[in-house]
Chain A
């Protein structure tokens, strides 16, 4: 495992794949942060009984989840897609 990681990061393809994985990771972290913010806004709105805000917040959280799903399932390096493994 160690050998494969070292060798894959040496080649341009390996570096490209590594960058794609890194980008996925960063995007997912950012989406999680956005969803945390949305959750806190939901709690705030519910405690204030401002129910008209809840719908848009849930939709926003759902959109974030869909983006995360897309990144998780389909956002893969081109080589990995061709070969069927990342």
Chain B
């Protein structure tokens, strides 16, 4: 009796009393050594946290540097004809890929017959925008952002900056994309 009591007291006072015991069947698949787990001390955990802090600082600095460098570097893209642009009716839009095959863009022909092209990624969270003929604007269905169909400026909603503008040129009746302009709140 006294030995049972003393062992119970020992268990209560022990650091390890609340440690789960690897007895379940599935734990045979993931054996782990309790002794090794116990060796992760607070000191080591503090070390991990400090390393995490260093990584977060370096990550923030690297991301900022990359963003600033990309904004300064002028990208030049080869002109590309936009197929089907000449057959567009006023108040319509078509999709095309520019400057690479992975980047979709949208060409809008306004009701007055003028053309304007923009990158199709919403500047909020990169959902694809579409042309709303009814409202004559570009709309993002994800979070209800709206852009002017002629300028790409934000009309309403959460997008923080205008759509990327695709510069276009009319060459002997055919519409060519000749460059991309990333616009924003640079300062």
Contact = CB atoms under 8 A, between A and B. Distances in A.
Interface in A10-38: 21-22, 24-25, 28-29, 31-32, 35-36, 38
Tell me whether chain B's interface is mostly helix, strand or loop, or mixed: helix
Interface in A34-55: 35-36, 38-39, 42-43, 46-52, 54
A65 B16 contact: no
Contacts of A25: 42, 45-46, 49
Interface of A: 1-2, 5-6, 9, 21-22, 24-25, 28-29, 31-32, 35-36, 38-39, 42-43, 46-52, 54, 57-58, 61-62, 64-65, 68-69, 71-72, 86
Given A2-B16, A39-B59, 13 more contacts: A6-B13, A28-B53, A39-B63, A49-B182, A50-B160, A50-B186, A50-B187, A51-B68, A54-B68, A57-B60, A61-B56, A65-B57, A86-B43
B64 A46 contact: yes
Interface string B46-64: 1101101110110111011
Nearest to A63: B57
A47 B58 CA distance: 18
B52 A32 contact: yes
Interface in B153-187: 160-161, 182-187
A58 B61 contact: yes
A22 B67 contact: no
Nearest to A21: B42
Majority secondary structure of chain A interface residues (helix, strand, loop or mixed): helix
B165 to A, nearest CB: 13
Interface residues of B, number: 35
A75 B64 CA distance: 31
Contacts of B42: 21-22, 24-25
A46 B54 contact: no
A61 B60 CA distance: 8
Contact of B57 (A6, A24, A64): A64
Contact of B50 (A1, A22, A68): A68
Looking at B16, B47, B50, the one whose CB has the most chain A CB atoms below 10 A away is B50
Contacts of B61: 58, 61-62
A29 B186 CA distance: 34
Nearest to A44: B160
Contact of A35 (B38, B53, B185, B186): B53
